[in-house]
Structure 1
Amino acid sequence: MVGVTGTTRTPRYDEFSRYVAERGPALLRMARSLTNNLADAEDLLQAALVKTFLSWERIADPRARDGYVRRAMVNTQISEWRRKRLDVYPTDDIPEQRVDDPTWRSDLADVVGRAIERLPERQRATVVLRYYDDLTEAQIAARMGVTLGTVKSTLSRAVDKLRRDADLVIERAVN
């Protein structure tokens, strides 16, 4: 049998491919639990599978394969953590730290809510359906019993009014 690269595929390759196809999703979940995101998990699993493939013939018991791959993932991730570790040295001086004030989010939501309330009824309904209820323009048209063009022009006028709303302009300047 000839593989993608033109080389002859071995029974070892076929057996390993079947193993990865069967166990890949479970192993990816394990890798995801060791990393911060899916891309890093995929990279970690790939590195562990390369190490496993190189030692495939030495893994005599098929039931030990998952454990081998998991151990390879853990060891690889620990090495990555050690590489990324920053050395922290104790000091008598405590640096000033900026503390975020999370209240701006609720203040902004309040300002936006009041600006939307000032819109004419049809514009307000269209904005709420589009941006709060996440309906498509076609769904809004069907729900309101108007044409798609009416929805688009109403949304355009409403967004333009919101852009010119004095409270929102001040809020954007502050944040």
Structure 2
Amino acid sequence: MESGDERFRLFVREQWGPLTRTAYLLTGDRGTAEDLVQSALEKTHRRWGRVEFPEVYVRRVMVNTATSWWRRRRPIEVPLLASDAEHTPDAYDRVEQRQQLLAALRQLPPRTQAVLVLRYFEDLSEADTARVLGCSIGSVKSQASRGLARLRVDFAAHPPVRLQGDPT
């Protein structure tokens, strides 16, 4: 029979990659993401014997911790000059588009950001997202709808650059 600590070690080994990916999407920085995962796992370990659904619990802890960090230290951003925003198509276009998406995602309120990350990047169902966030399915739907609408507005104002010959 496995001990609680051994089950926790196995959980960490299996979930480190997916948790770090979620944390990166929530924070936008690899180092901060790893700190977030470690913080969430530390908090989870303290309650390990009482945690019924560890995947849900640790993601909820990550969202709450990221929100708390976000409130404490909002980044100061310097707007770009119009001349700095001109893009030329190159081989890194998809990477740039993804960076634009992640930057726009980080501008959303923490709760909306968490809903979009869990629903569309982690591919959780509305019910699973609601369970992770401890809210209703209707709340998940409305947050996702508002978040996607805001991202559409952001991308309409600054459309991503397309490669020549790219049909999309």
Q: Specify the TM-score bucket, using the shorter chain as the normaliser.
A: 0.3 to 0.5
**RCO (CA 8 Å, sep 6+): is it higher in 1 or 2?**
2
TM-score, structure 1 normalization: 0.43
Q: Greater CA radius of gyration, 1 or 2?
A: 1
TM-score, structure 2 normalization: 0.44
